[in-house]
Every structure is written in structure tokens, then in C-alpha cells.
């Protein structure tokens, strides 16, 4: 069966696995670096230059591009494919690189700079006939940091579990954390997922069962709680409940207040992706990137209205959230997370719908949803209605005391990951679906059966970023960790990479390889399919030794390649030299 759109075939020359500190694209293509960490985002009158020694202040960083670029989306201005806005996530920081003397010792000024290097950026870009450039200053340029107010909306807004001393109404939270994947909605907004927010909180020695289920630990990974009591969950037990949401931003209105959409459920959200039913209801698919967690779908009650972001500002506030169960017979079911239905009752610890959404994991546990191998990005083939999801890896699958293999997650000690896909019967609002596995990632030369995979084409491991281009090719990006690369089961796979898949044939072909120890993530095309923007995250990332703050510089100097410089996350825009459509 032709499972893809079938519009386009792979038409580029595959490149070999990457082994060097360089970004490589196929013959006939050109890659250009833009929007490096620390460049001014373009706010008029406030454009401090990047200092290569890391000595920019926290205030400088609040108006410069953040660190660790991840998901991004291109928003055309007046429908243009040569002029638009990029909205971009900054997932986390490497505090060894962020400060002149690294992260030891941490102090309040360093925490503030780290907070200002998190969040989101909106910047303006234009193609000048030769190359893309940032437009600076730009009326659209914006940074969202840990000080930016976000409205809480939907059924959990104002819930007692969201109220804090600083926000007794529980309706306005400051900042967004660990934003990973992203997408653009059909009504012109940007959706961004708050992923590993739990690691920013110190839970103290007496962590509640609720916070434990979400992975809070005694101490945060970043030392924030020592200098900013908001992140001390022992003192502020409801502050963690204000993270883990899907964030919606209107990039076209620089005065707009971003919103956390509680109707979509709380999770370690990788991101969120929208399909429209034939009668214009919004269906939002999302997953949470954590071992043995879940895949979700939200179906709006209302219909999309003409008039863009303003006309649809409550579309994602009312509807029903479901969690996926993948059955062994190739069928599956969406299980509703509705208060009062089934086990989701006060007797089981859910006072109301708000609590069901805040404790979506606990609710999904009770519903018997399928525990997945770390769901990352999703991609929706609007023509065929197949929805694809990367399951990046799960080293604990089948381990003692952990869930064993199942049909959807079929490999024990799953080092390589897989891509699953499903399709509902008539429209995106189905309650049941058929599903199968597009590909098991791996290398057939590996000894262990579970690491061989069944890739038809170029080998890869740990699929993460995923998306369709306008011509219907499926693009896959990888995130193998620096501790794995170049050895063992990853010896032949090389640097993290980007591949294209023809879903009609299953063929997968390597398109791009990144610099040393980076992750390749985030993908967005201009409407004409002739420009591809991606993120190169954490080139040179420290494989092991957190005590040496300068360690990334031993591995990478990308993209500046200055002897005294620092590796920097950046966006890269890729074009065909002849101006043609990417991938064909
Ligand atoms: Fe931030 Fe799941 O990758
Ligand atoms: Ca990711
Ligand atoms: Ca990942
Ligand atoms: Ca990452």
C-alpha cells in the first residue's frame, strides 16, 4: 500500500556517516549558519555583541539568542518564502560554556544568565538573493525567558495545585522551561513543549508521591534552587505543577502574551502537532519523552475560525484529552482522560478535571495506556492521515523490574529506537486506529539482534526530530548521546545526522551530518520547499566530565572555528545551489 503522499521521490546523492567537526550536505546543496547562541535577537536599541569568552551579562543574554537551539518554525510574512519570522526553542544551557569560568562555583548572577539563555526566541529573516540574513533591528524580535509572564488557560487554570504565594490566582506563571520540539498551527501560532522541567527543581528530602511520579529529585541538576527559591519545591510545592505544558505563542504580535494550554495535559512534553478534522476541529498529538511514558491526543470541541491567531485564541482550551493504547493485533485505542469516567474519580485522587490534567501520568497509569520507548517528535501526513512518531531509545526496556517488550516497543535494551505510525479510520477524530512500525533503527553489522534494525538504506540510531517537507518526504533527525558515539553499536553510525524517507517505499537516505557531538534537531521549510532551517544543538557536548567546564572545546569549535572561541548552537539554512526543491 502507498502509505505516503507519494508526491516526491528521493533525488539527492547520499552522504557517508559524519566523522569530522563539520556540517556536511550532499553535492549540489549549500548550508549557511545563522542565529548563533549569543547573537543579538534584534530588539531595537538593545543589541549587545557576543563576547567569545562568555563574559556577556545576564542582561545581555536576555536580548541575545539563547543556548541549545531545538525546535523551530518558519512563519512567512505575507506568504513569502524569502522573508519571514523564525520562532525557536532554547532547550537548556551548558553552564561550562555560558560563563567565563564555567559553573563552579555557581552563583545568583550565573543562575540568572542561565535562566535568560533558556526559553524562546523570535527573530526575522530575509533572503537577499545570495544568502539569508537576520533583519536587525526588527519589530518582531522577542525573547521569552524565565521572567516572561505566561497566561495559564484551560480547565486547570486557577486550580489550587497551580496557586503559589507569588501567584495566588494560579493563572500567571513566569517563564517556560526545557522547550524541546515545536510546530506551527494552521491558525498561525507556535506550539512548544516543556520537556525535562523536573530537573530544574530541588525537591528536598521529603518529596510527595505526586512529584516523585514526575521524577523530581532531592537536588536539581542546575543548582537553581540554591539561588532562586522558586525552584525549591520543598518551599514552593506547586511551582513544578506550572511546568510541563504545551506553550502557544503568536509570533506575529510582539505584544501578545504567551499561553500554557492545560487542556492538552501536563507531561514531559517533547512538543505538539496539529491536524484538522474535515469539519475544522483541531487534533493535537503529543508525546512525552521519558522511558515508559505516553502518547496523547487532544480533540477540540470548537472549530477553527477564519482570522488567524486572534480568532482562535480559545480553540485549544476546550475539548477532550486521550492517551494511546497500542494492542498486539495492530489496532489501538484512544482512552479518554475525563474526570468521573472509569477510574478517574475523587476516590482515586482526582478531585476534578484540572487535577486529571495536572496528573495526566497518574491518570494514564490507571487507564492502562501503553508505556512507550521515549516518544519524541511527531509528523502528520495530511494526505494519507498516517501520523508518525519517533521512539528514540529505551535502555531499560526489559530490564529487571521494568516493563518488558510489547508489540509497539519490541526490543529489549532498545539502544537504537524506532518510528511508529498510526491511522484512524475515517478522520483524525477516530477513537480507534491501526498502527505499525515504519522502521527499527540500527546497524545490520551489529552483533546483538536488538541493535541490527531493519533500515532500508542508510543506517542511523536514536531518531528524534521528524517532519514532512511540503513535497511529502519524511525527514528524520538523530540524537545519539555523546557517550555512545564512535564505539560499540554506534561505531559505524558516525555523528548525528538528518535523513529523508520516501514513505511509499520505506527507503531512507542520509542527507546531512553534523559536527562532533552535536544533536541535529528542529526542521522547518519555507512554503515553496526550497529552504530548510534546522538547529545544530550542543556541538562538542561534554561526554562525561562535568568537572571540567571547558571540555566541549576539546571536541568542537563549530561553527566559528576560532582558537579561543566556544562551540555554539546555531540554526543552519540549507538550499539547493540551483534553487530547486529540497530533497528531490
Ligand atoms: Fe529534548 Fe526529547 O529531546
Ligand atoms: Ca528531542
Ligand atoms: Ca532526544
Ligand atoms: Ca538535546
How far apart, in whole angstroms, are the C-alpha atoms of residue 230 and residue 197? 13
| pLDDT tens per residue across span 232-248 | 999 999 999 999 999 99
Ligand 1, atom nearest to 181 Cα:
1
CA of 495 to the centre of ligand 3 (A): 14
Residue 195 Cβ inside 6 Å of ligand 1? The answer reads yes
CA of 44 to the centre of ligand 2 (A): 32
* ipTM here: 0.97
How far apart, in whole angstroms, are the C-alpha atoms of residue 111 and residue 225? 9
First vs last Cα of the chain: how many Å apart? 22
User: How many C-beta atoms surround the C-beta of residue 396 within 10 A?
Assistant: 16
Mean pLDDT of the chain: 96
Q: How would you classify the pairing of strands 259-261 and 149-153?
A: parallel
Across 176-181, average pLDDT = 98
The closest alpha carbon to 240, from 222, 220, 261, 270, belongs to 220
CA of 191 to the centre of ligand 2 (A): 14
Residue 124 Cβ inside 6 Å of ligand 1? The answer reads no
Beta bridge partners, 64, equal: 40
CA of 365 to the centre of ligand 4 (A): 27
Residue 91 Cβ inside 6 Å of ligand 1? The answer reads yes
Three-class secondary structure of residue 555 per DSSP: helix
Band the pLDDT of 99: cuts 50, 70, 90.
very high
* 142 phi/psi in degrees, rounded to 5: -150, 150
The pLDDT of residue 91: 98
- According to DSSP, residue 75 is labeled E
Ligand 1, atom nearest to 376 Cα:
2
Full set of structural domains in the chain with CATH: 29-195+244-576 (2.120.10.30)
- Contact of 238 with 62, CB cutoff 8 Å: no
Ligand 1, atom nearest to 196 Cα:
1
- Contact of 512 with 24, CB cutoff 8 Å: yes
How far apart, in whole angstroms, are the C-alpha atoms of residue 515 and residue 524? 20
H/E segment holding residue 283? strand 281-288
CA angle centred on 542, ends 539 and 547, rounded to 5° = 145
How far apart, in whole angstroms, are the C-alpha atoms of residue 72 and residue 232? 30
Return the C-alpha cell found at 119. Answer: 526559553
Is it the case that residue 6 has pLDDT exceeding 80? no
- Which residue in this structure is represented by grid cell 520537556? 195
Q: How many helices (H) and strands (E) does the chain have?
A: 9, 30
The pLDDT of residue 483: 84
The pLDDT of residue 544: 61
pTM: 0.97
| pLDDT tens per residue across span 515-560 | 999 999 999 999 999 999 999 999 999 866 566 766 778 889 999 9
The pLDDT of residue 103: 86
Q: How would you classify the pairing of strands 269-276 and 281-288?
A: antiparallel
Ligand 1, atom nearest to 374 Cα:
2
The closest alpha carbon to 43, from 124, 150, 103, belongs to 124
Ligand 1, atom nearest to 270 Cα:
2
Task: Using alpha carbons, list the distances in angstroms from residue 476 to 328, 434, 480, 543.
Answer: 26, 22, 13, 23
Return the C-alpha cell found at 269. Answer: 512534553
CA of 102 to the centre of ligand 4 (A): 20
| pLDDT tens per residue across span 461-512 | 999 999 999 999 999 999 999 888 889 999 999 999 999 999 999 999 999 9
CA of 394 to the centre of ligand 2 (A): 14
Residue 519 Cβ inside 6 Å of ligand 1? The answer reads no
Residue 270 Cβ inside 6 Å of ligand 1? The answer reads yes
Ligand 1, atom nearest to 392 Cα:
2
Band the pLDDT of 147: cuts 50, 70, 90.
very high
- Contact of 9 with 584, CB cutoff 8 Å: yes
Nearest CA to ligand 1 atom 3: 180
Residue 373 Cβ inside 6 Å of ligand 1? The answer reads no
Beta bridge partners, 285, equal: 273, 297
Residue 429 Cβ inside 6 Å of ligand 1? The answer reads no
Is it the case that residue 353 has pLDDT exceeding 80? yes
Residue 376 Cβ inside 6 Å of ligand 1? The answer reads yes
The pLDDT of residue 547: 64
More confident residue, 118 or 6: 118
Ligand nearest to the CA of 522: 2
CA of 289 to the centre of ligand 1 (A): 6
Band the pLDDT of 3: cuts 50, 70, 90.
very low
How far apart, in whole angstroms, are the C-alpha atoms of residue 123 and residue 178? 19
User: How many C-beta atoms surround the C-beta of residue 337 within 10 A?
Assistant: 26
CA of 195 to the centre of ligand 1 (A): 7
- Contact of 195 with 92, CB cutoff 8 Å: no
Band the pLDDT of 1: cuts 50, 70, 90.
very low
CA of 558 to the centre of ligand 1 (A): 22
Is it the case that residue 400 has pLDDT exceeding 70? yes
Is it the case that residue 406 has pLDDT exceeding 90? yes
How far apart, in whole angstroms, are the C-alpha atoms of residue 319 and residue 297? 10
The closest alpha carbon to 185, from 79, 50, 313, 81, belongs to 313
Ligand 1, atom nearest to 70 Cα:
1
- Contact of 303 with 283, CB cutoff 8 Å: no
CB contact burial 126-154 (16+ within 10 A = b; e otherwise): bbeeeebebbeebebbbbbbbebebbbbb
* CA–centroid distance for 358 within its chain: 20
Ligand nearest to the CA of 196: 1
- Contact of 261 with 193, CB cutoff 8 Å: no
User: How many C-beta atoms surround the C-beta of residue 456 within 10 A?
Assistant: 13
CA of 424 to the centre of ligand 4 (A): 31
Ligand 1, atom nearest to 180 Cα:
1
Nearest CA to ligand 1 atom 1: 180
Percent over 70 (pLDDT), the chain: 97
- Contact of 527 with 466, CB cutoff 8 Å: no
The pLDDT of residue 7: 64
CA of 290 to the centre of ligand 4 (A): 13
Percentage helix, strand, coil for the chain under 3-state DSSP, each rounded to 5: 15, 35, 55
CA dihedral for 42, 566, 497, 584, sign (positive or negative): positive
Ligand 1, atom nearest to 268 Cα:
2
- Contact of 474 with 468, CB cutoff 8 Å: yes
Ligand nearest to the CA of 289: 1
| pLDDT tens per residue across span 259-279 | 999 999 999 999 999 999 999
Return the C-alpha cell found at 63. Answer: 536580548
How far apart, in whole angstroms, are the C-alpha atoms of residue 174 and residue 115? 11
Residue 246 Cβ inside 6 Å of ligand 1? The answer reads no
How far apart, in whole angstroms, are the C-alpha atoms of residue 62 and residue 142? 10
- Which residue in this structure is represented by grid cell 572555528? 561
Is it the case that residue 445 has pLDDT exceeding 50? yes
Residue 462 Cβ inside 6 Å of ligand 1? The answer reads no
Residue 389 Cβ inside 6 Å of ligand 1? The answer reads no
How far apart, in whole angstroms, are the C-alpha atoms of residue 532 and residue 522? 10
Across 186-211, average pLDDT = 98
Is it the case that residue 2 has pLDDT exceeding 50? no
CA of 50 to the centre of ligand 3 (A): 28
Amino acid at each position: 500500500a502507498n502509505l505516503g503522499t507519494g508526491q516526491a521521490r528521493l533525488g539527492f546523492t547520499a552522504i557517508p556517516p559524519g566523522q569530522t567537526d563539520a556540517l556536511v550536505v550532499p553535492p549540489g546543496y549549500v548550508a549557511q549558519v545563522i542565529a548563533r547562541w549569543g547573537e543579538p535577537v534584534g530588539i531595537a536599541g538593545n543589541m549587545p555583541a557576543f563576547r567569545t569568552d562568555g563574559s556577556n551579562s545576564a542582561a545581555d543574554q536576555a536580548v541575545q539568542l539563547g543556548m541549545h537551539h531545538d525546535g523551530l518554525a518558519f512563519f512567512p510574512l505575507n506568504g513569502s518564502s524569502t522573508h519571514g519570522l523564525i520562532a525557536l526553542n532554547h532547550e537548556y544551557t551548558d553552564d561550562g560554556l555560558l560563563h567565563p569560568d564555567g559553573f563552579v562555583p555557581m552563583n545568583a548572577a550565573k543562575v540568572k544568565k542561565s535562566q535568560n539563555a533558556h526559553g524562546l526566541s523570535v527573530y526575522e529573516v530575509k533572503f537577499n538573493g545570495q544568502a539569508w540574513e537576520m533583519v536587525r533591528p526588527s519589530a518582531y524580535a522577542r525573547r521569552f525567558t524565565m521572567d516572561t509572564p505566561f497566561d495559564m488557560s484551560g480547565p486547570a487554570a486557577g486550580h489550587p495545585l497551580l496557586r503559589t504565594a507569588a501567584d495566588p490566582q494560579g493563572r500567571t506563571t513566569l517563564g517556560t522551561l526545557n522547550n524541546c520540539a515545536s510546530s506551527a498551527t494552521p491558525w498561525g501560532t507556535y506550539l512548544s513543549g516543556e520537556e525535562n522541567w523536573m530537573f530544574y527543581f530541588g525537591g528536598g528530602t521529603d518529596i510527595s508521591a505526586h512529584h516523585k511520579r514526575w521524577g523530581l529529585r532531592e537536588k536539581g541538576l542546575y543548582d537553581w534552587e540554591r539561588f532562586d527559591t522558586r525552584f525549591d519545591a520543598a518551599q514552593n510545592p506547586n511551582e513544578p505543577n506550572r511546568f510541563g505544558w504545551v506553550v502557544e505563542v503568536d509570533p506575529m504580535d510582539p505584544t501578545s502574551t504567551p499561553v500554557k494550554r492545560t487542556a492538552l495535559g501536563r507531561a514531559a512534553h517533547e512538543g505538539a502537532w496539529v491536524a484538522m478534522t474535515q469539519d475544522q476541529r483541531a487534533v493535537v498529538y503529543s508525546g512525552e519523552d521519558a522511558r515508559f511514558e505516553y502518547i496523547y491526543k487532544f480533540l477540540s470541541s470548537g472549530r477553527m475560525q477564519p482570522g488567524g491567531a486572534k480568532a482562535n485564541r480559545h480553540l485549544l482550551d476546550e475539548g477532550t484529552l486521550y492517551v494511546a493504547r497500542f494492542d498486539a493485533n495492530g489496532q489501538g485505542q484512544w482512552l479518554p482522560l475525563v474526570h468521573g469516567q472509569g477510574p478517574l474519580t475523587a476516590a482515586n485522587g482526582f478531585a476534578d478535571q484540572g487535577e486529571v490534567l495536572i496528573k495526566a501520568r497518574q491518570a494514564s497509569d490507571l487507564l492502562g495506556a501503553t508505556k512507550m520507548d521515549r516518544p519524541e517528535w511527531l509528523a502528520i501526513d495530511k494526505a494519507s492521515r498516517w501520523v508518525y512518531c519517533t521512539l528514540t531509545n529505551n535502555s531499560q526496556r526489559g530490564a529487571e523490574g521494568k516493563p518488558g517488550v510489547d508489540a509497539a516497543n519490541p526490543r529489549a535494551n532498545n539502544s537504537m529506537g524506532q518510528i511508529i505510525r498510526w491511522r484512524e479510520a475515517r478522520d483524525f477524530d477516530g477513537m480507534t486506529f491501526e498502527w505499525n512500525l515504519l522502521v527499527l533503527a540500527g546497524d545490520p553489522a551489529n552483533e546483538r539482534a536488538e541493535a541490527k534494525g531493519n533500515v532500508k538504506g542508510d543506517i542511523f540510531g536514536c531518531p528524534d526530530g521528524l517532519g514532512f517537507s511540503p513535497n511529502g518526504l519524511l525527514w528524520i533527525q538523530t540524537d545519539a548521546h555523546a557517550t555512545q558515539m564512535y564505539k560499540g553499536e554506534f561505531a559505524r553510525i558516525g555523528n548525528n545526522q538528518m535523513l529523508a524517507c520516501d514513505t511509499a517505499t520505506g527507503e531512507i537516505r542520509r542527507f546531512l551530518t553534523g559536527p562532533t557531538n552535536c544533536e541535529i534537531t528542529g526542521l522547518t521549510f519555507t512554503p515553496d520547499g526550497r529552504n530548510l532551517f534546522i538547529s545544530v544543538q550542543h556541538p562538542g557536548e561534554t561526554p562525561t566530565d562535568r568537572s571540567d567546564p571547558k571540555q566541549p572545546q576539546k571536541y568542537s569549535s563549530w561553527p566559528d572555528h576560532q582558537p579561543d572561541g566556544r562551540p555554539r548552537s546555531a540554526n543552519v539554512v540549507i538550499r539547493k545551489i540551483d534553487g530547486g526543491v529540497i530533497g528531490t
